[in-house]
Chain A
Amino acid sequence: MQGIKFDWLKSCPEGLYCQPADCFIDPARAVPRALITHGHADHARPGHEKVLATKETLKIMKVRYPSDLAQHQQLNFGEKIRIGEVTVWLAPAGHILGSAQVVMEYQGQRAVVSGDYKRQADPTAIPFEPITCDLFVTEATFALPVFRHPKPESQLEKLLSSLQAFPERPHLLGVYGLGKCQRILLLLRDLGFDAPIYLHGALVGLTELYRSMGFDFGNLLPVQGVAKSDLSSALVLAPPSATIDRWSRRFTDPRIGIASGWMQVRGRARQRRAEIPLIISDHADWDDLLRTCNETQAETVWITHGREDALAYELGKRGQKAIPLRLSGRQEESE
Chain B
Amino acid sequence: MTPDPARGYALAALTGDLKIPAAKSATIRSLVEKRMDAELFAMSYDYVGDMAETVALIWTDVNYSPPKFTEVVEELQKSNKASAAIALEKWMDRLDTTGRWALLKLATGGLRVGVSARLAKMALAQEFEASVDEVEEIWHSIEPPYDDLFRWLEGSGEKPNYALGAGFRPVMLANPLEEGLLSQLDPLSYVAEWKWDGIRVQAISRDGKKKLYTRTGEDIGYSFPDILNSLDFDAVIDGELLIRDQKSNKLQEAAPFSTLQKRLGRKRPSTKIISEMPAFIRAYDLLFEGEEDLRGFAFEDRRKRLEIWAKNAPSTIDISATIPFKTWQELSKIRSEARETGIEGLMLKRKSSFYLPGRPKNQWYKWKREPLTLDLVLMYAQRGHGRRSSYYSDFTLGAWSDAETLVPVCKAYSGYTDKELVKIDKWVREHTNDRFGPVRSVTPGLVLEIAFDAAQYSKRHKSGVALRFPRIKRLRWDKPISEAETLQHVKSLIQEPQS
Contact residues in B for A267 (Cβ distance below 8 Å): 48-50
Are B50 and A266 touching (Cβ within 8 A)? Answer: yes
Q: In the complex where A244-B383, A249-B390, A273-B385 touch, is A145 in contact with B40 (Cβ < 8 A)?
A: yes
The answer to whether A145 and B50 have CB atoms under 8 Å apart is: no
CA distance A314 to B37 in the complex (A): 9
Say whether A146 contacts B47, CB under 8 Å: yes
Contacts of A246 in B (CB 8 A): 390
User: Which residues of chain B are near A249, meaning CB under 8 Å?
Assistant: 390
- A297 within 8 Å of B by Cβ? no
**Cα-based distance from A248 to B48 in the complex (angstroms):** 29
> Are A313 and B40 neighbours in the complex by a CB distance under 8 Å?
yes
Whether A146 contacts B48 in the complex (CB less than 8 A), given A244-B390, A273-B389, comes out as yes
For B164, list chain A residues within 8 Å (CB): none
Residues of B within 8 A of A145 (CB): 36, 40-41, 44, 57-58
Interface residues of B (CB under 8 A from A): 36-37, 39-41, 43-44, 47-50, 53-54, 57-58, 383, 385, 389-390, 437-438
Across-interface contacts of A310 in B (CB, < 8 A): 40, 43-44
Give A291 to B448 CA distance when docked, in angstroms: 57
- Of all chain A residues, the one with the shortest Cβ separation from B438 is A271
Max count, chain B CB within 10 A of own CB: residue among A146, A267, A313: A146
A148 CB within 8 Å of chain B: yes
Asked if A248 and B44 make an inter-chain contact with CB atoms under 8 angstroms apart, the answer reads: no
Q: Is the Cβ of B438 less than 8 Å from the Cβ of A146?
A: no
Known contacts A265-B48, A266-B50, A267-B49, A314 near B390 by CB under 8 Å = no
The docked-state distance in angstroms from the alpha carbon of A147 to that of B390 is 29
**Does chain B have a CB within 8 A of A245?**
yes
A261 nearest CB across to chain B (Å)? 12
**Chain A contacts of B47 at CB under 8 A?**
144, 146, 265, 307
Q: For the complex, what is the distance from the CA of A76 to the CA of B232, rounded to whole Å?
A: 90
Asked if A309 contacts B390 (CB within 8 A), the reply is no
Are A244 and B389 closer than 8 Å at their CB atoms? yes
Closest to A267 in B: B49
Taken together as a complex, chains A and B put the C-alpha atoms of A317 and B39 apart, in Å, by: 11
Give the interface size bracket for A toward B.
Answer: 20 to 34
Give A24 Cβ to nearest chain B Cβ, in Å. Answer: 29
CB distance from B49 to the nearest CB of A (A): 6
Please tell me if A233 contacts chain B, counting CB pairs below 8 Å: no
Alpha-carbon distance between A309 and B36 when the two chains are bound, in angstroms = 17
A148-B57, A267-B48, A307-B47 given; A314·B385 CB < 8 A = no
Residue of B with least CB distance to A244: B389
| Chain B residues near A273 (CB-CB < 8 A) | 385, 389
Task: Looking at the assembled complex, report how far the CB atom of B102 sits from the nearest CB atom of chain A, in whole angstroms.
Answer: 12
**Complex Cα gap A182–B49 (Å):** 33
Interface pair B58/A146, CB less than 8 Å apart: yes
- The 4 A-B pairs with the shortest beta carbon distances in the complex, nearest first, are A146-B57, A244-B389, A310-B43, A273-B389
Q: A145-B57, A146-B48, A245-B390 are in contact. List 13 more A-B contacts (CB 8 A).
A: A144-B40, A145-B36, A145-B41, A146-B44, A146-B47, A244-B390, A246-B390, A265-B47, A265-B53, A265-B57, A271-B438, A313-B43, A317-B37
Nearest A residue to B383 by beta-carbon distance? A244
| Contact among B54, B385, B390 for A146, CB-based, below 8 A | B54
Give Cα A310–Cα B44 distance, bound, in whole angstroms. Answer: 8
Say if the beta carbon of A132 comes within 8 Å of chain B: no
Q: Residue on B with the closest CB to A144? A: B44
CA distance A310 to B50 in the complex (A): 18
Report whether A271 and B437 are in contact in the complex, using a CB–CB cutoff of 8 Å.
yes
B53 CB contacts on chain A under 8 angstroms = 265-266
Interface residues of A in 238-278 (CB under 8 A from B): 244-246, 248-249, 264-267, 271, 273
Residues of A within 8 A of B437 (CB): 271
Residues of A within 8 A of B389 (CB): 244, 273
- Interface hub of A144, A148, A317 (most chain B Cβ within 10 A): A144
Using Cβ atoms and an 8 Å threshold, which residues of chain A touch B438? 271
Nearest chain-B residue to A317 (Cβ)? B37
Q: Within 8 Å CB of A144, what residues of B? A: 40, 43-44, 47
Q: State in angstroms the CA–CA spacing of A161 and B50 once bound together.
A: 29
Contact in complex: A309, B50 (CB < 8 Å): no
What are 10 A-B contacts with C-beta separation under 8 Å?
A: A144-B47, A244-B390, A246-B390, A267-B49, A273-B385, A307-B43, A307-B47, A309-B43, A310-B44, A317-B37
A-side contacts of B41, CB under 8 Å? 145
User: How distant is the Cα of A201 from the Cα of B47 in the complex, in angstroms?
Assistant: 34
A165-200: contact bitstring with B at CB < 8 Å (1 yes, 0 no)?
000000000000000000000000000000000000
A266 and B50 alpha carbons, distance in the complex (Å): 10
Q: For the complex, what is the distance from the CA of A317 to the CA of B40, rounded to whole Å?
A: 11
Q: Please measure, in the bound complex, the distance between the C-alpha atom of A310 and the C-alpha atom of B43, giving whole angstroms.
A: 7
Question: Which B-chain residue is minimally distant from A268 (CB atoms)?
Answer: B48
How many angstroms between the C-alpha atoms of A245 and B390 in the bound complex?
4
Bound-state Cα–Cα, A317 to B36, Å: 13
Specify which of A145, A147, A267 lies most central, judged by the most chain B CB atoms within 10 Å of its CB: A145
Query: Is B390 within 8 A of A264, CB to CB?
Result: no
A145 to B42, CA, bound (A): 11
Residues in A neighbouring B43, C-beta threshold 8 A: 144, 307, 309-310, 313
- In the complex, what distance in Å separates the CA atom of A314 from the CA atom of B40? 8
> How distant is the Cα of A273 from the Cα of B385 in the complex, in angstroms?
8
Closest-CB distance, B375 to chain A (whole angstroms): 28
A313 with B39: CB separation less than 8 A:
yes
User: CA of A314 to CA of B44 in the docked complex: distance in angstroms?
Assistant: 13
A314: chain B residues within 8 A (beta carbon): 37, 40
The CA-CA distance from A271 to B49 in the complex, in Å, is 14
Q: Among B37, B40, B385, B438, which residue has the most Cβ atoms of chain A within 10 A?
A: B40
Q: How far is the CA of A190 from the CA of B212 in the complex (A)?
A: 60
Residue of B nearest to A246 (CB): B390
What's the minimum C-beta distance from B53 to chain A, rounded to whole angstroms?
6
Chain B residues with CB below 8 A from A244, complex form: 383, 389-390
With the chains together, A273 CA to B386 CA distance in Å? 8
Give the chain B neighbours of A307 by CB distance below 8 A: 43, 47
Give residues 67-109 of A contacting B (CB, 8 Å).
none
The closest CB in chain A to the CB of B53 belongs to A266
Given contacts A144-B43, A271-B437, A310-B40, contact A264 B57 (CB under 8 A): yes
Q: Within residues 141 to 168 of chain A, which ones have a CB less than 8 A from any CB in chain B?
A: 144-148
Closest to A279 in B: B97
| Interface core residue of A271, A309, A310 (most chain B CB under 10 Å) | A310
When C-beta atoms are compared, the residue in chain B nearest to A147 turns out to be: B57
Taking the nearest CB of chain B, how far is it from the CB of A174, in angstroms?
A: 12
| Chain B residue with the shortest CB-CB distance to A247 | B390
Least CB distance from B428 to A in Å reads 12
Find chain A residues with CB under 8 A from B39 CB. Answer: 313
